[in-house]
Amino acid sequence: MSTDTPITDATVRDVVIVGSGVAGLSAAVYTARADLEPLVLEGPEPGGQLTLTTEVENYLGFPEGIGGMELIQNGKEQATRFGAEFTHGTVETATLEEQPFALELASGETIRTRALIVATGASARWVGADGEDELMGYGLSTCATCDGAFHRGDDVLVIGGGDSAMEEALFLAKFADNVTVVHRRDELRASDIMAKRARDHDAIAFRWNTELLEIHGSQEDGVTGATLVRHPDGHPTAKLESGEVDHETVDVGGIFYGVGHVPNTEFLAETAVELDEAGYIRTEPGMTTETAVEGVFGAGDVMDPDYRQAITAAGTGSMAALDAESWLETREAAEHASPPLAEAELDD
Q: Kindly report, residue by residue over 80-120, the tens digit of the pLDDT.
A: 999 999 999 999 999 999 999 999 999 999 999 999 999 99
pTM exceeding 0.85: no
Question: Residue 342 — pLDDT band, cuts 50, 70, 90?
Answer: low
Amino acid at 97: E
Task: Decide: residue 5, CB within 10 A, 0-12 exposed, 13-18 middle, 19+ buried.
Answer: middle
Q: Is the pLDDT reported for residue 330 higher than 70?
A: yes
Interatomic CA distance for residues 121 and 52, integer angstroms? 14
Q: Same structural domain for residues 145 and 245?
A: yes
Q: Is the pLDDT reported for residue 196 higher than 60?
A: yes
Instruction: Answer whether residue 192 is part of any domain.
Output: yes
Counting the structural domains of the chain, the total is 2
pLDDT of residue 2: 40
CA distances to 121, 133, 200 from 210, in Å: 30, 21, 20
**Which pairing describes strands 91-95 and 39-42: parallel, antiparallel, or unpaired?**
unpaired
Distance of CA 112 to the CA centre of its chain: 25
Q: Supply the range of the domain harboring residue 136.
A: 132-257
Question: Residue 345 — pLDDT band, cuts 50, 70, 90?
Answer: low
Interatomic CA distance for residues 42 and 253, integer angstroms? 34
| Spatial contact of 291 and 282, defined as CB atoms under 8 Å apart | yes
pLDDT of residue 46: 83
Q: Same structural domain for residues 277 and 207?
A: no
Mean pLDDT (the chain) is 92
Q: Same structural domain for residues 190 and 249?
A: yes
Of 230, 257, 284, the residue that ends a domain is 257
Instruction: Answer whether residue 195 is part of any domain.
Output: yes
Tell me what the mean pLDDT of segment 330-334 comes to: 89
Instruction: Answer whether residue 3 is part of any domain.
Output: no
Q: Kindly report, residue by residue over 206-223, the tens digit of the pLDDT.
A: 999 999 999 999 999 999
Instruction: Answer whether residue 7 is part of any domain.
Output: no
Annotated catalytic residues are 143, 146-147
Of 222, 257, 292, the residue that ends a domain is 257
Q: Is the pLDDT reported for residue 242 higher than 90?
A: no
Q: Same structural domain for residues 50 and 97?
A: yes
Q: What are phi and psi of 18, to 5 degrees?
A: -100, 110
Tell me what the mean pLDDT of segment 133-161 comes to: 94
Q: Is the pLDDT reported for residue 225 higher than 50?
A: yes
Q: Same structural domain for residues 252 and 302?
A: no
pLDDT of residue 340: 63
Question: Residue 260 — pLDDT band, cuts 50, 70, 90?
Answer: confident
Q: Same structural domain for residues 136 and 253?
A: yes
Q: Quickly list DSSP for 293-322.
A: STTEEE-GGGG-SS---HHHHHHHHHHHHH
Q: Same structural domain for residues 244 and 293?
A: no
Q: Quickly list DSSP for 101-170.
A: EEEEETTS-EEEEEEEEE---EEEP----BTHHHHBTTTEES-HHHHGGGGTT-EEEEE-SSHHHHHHHH
Instruction: Answer whether residue 348 is part of any domain.
Output: no
Q: Same structural domain for residues 113 and 182?
A: no
Instruction: Answer whether residue 4 is part of any domain.
Output: no
Interatomic CA distance for residues 25 and 19, integer angstroms? 8
Tell me what the mean pLDDT of segment 146-159 comes to: 95
Question: Residue 1 — pLDDT band, cuts 50, 70, 90?
Answer: very low
Q: Kindly report, residue by residue over 54-70, the tens digit of the pLDDT.
A: 788 889 999 999 988 99
Q: Quickly list DSSP for 2-47.
A: -SS----TT-EEEEEEE--SHHHHHHHHHHHHTT---EEEE-SSTT
Q: Is the pLDDT reported for residue 5 higher than 80?
A: no
Q: Same structural domain for residues 77 and 194?
A: no
Q: Same structural domain for residues 119 and 18?
A: yes
**Which pairing describes strands 101-105 and 110-118: parallel, antiparallel, or unpaired?**
antiparallel
Instruction: Answer whether residue 17 is part of any domain.
Output: yes
Instruction: Answer whether residue 5 is part of any domain.
Output: no
Q: Same structural domain for residues 184 and 301?
A: no
Of 218, 240, 257, the residue that ends a domain is 257
Task: Cis check for the bond before 232: say yes or no (omega within 30 of 0).
Answer: no
**What CATH number corresponds to the domain at position 170?**
3.50.50.60
Q: In what order do the strands lie in the sheet with 222-230?
A: 210-218, 222-230, 246-251
CA atoms within 13 A on the CB side of 348: 5
Q: Same structural domain for residues 151 and 244?
A: yes
Farthest-apart Cα atoms in the chain, separation: 96
| Spatial contact of 122 and 263, defined as CB atoms under 8 Å apart | yes
Rg (Cα) of the chain, in Å, rounded? 24
Tell me what the mean pLDDT of segment 253-258 comes to: 96
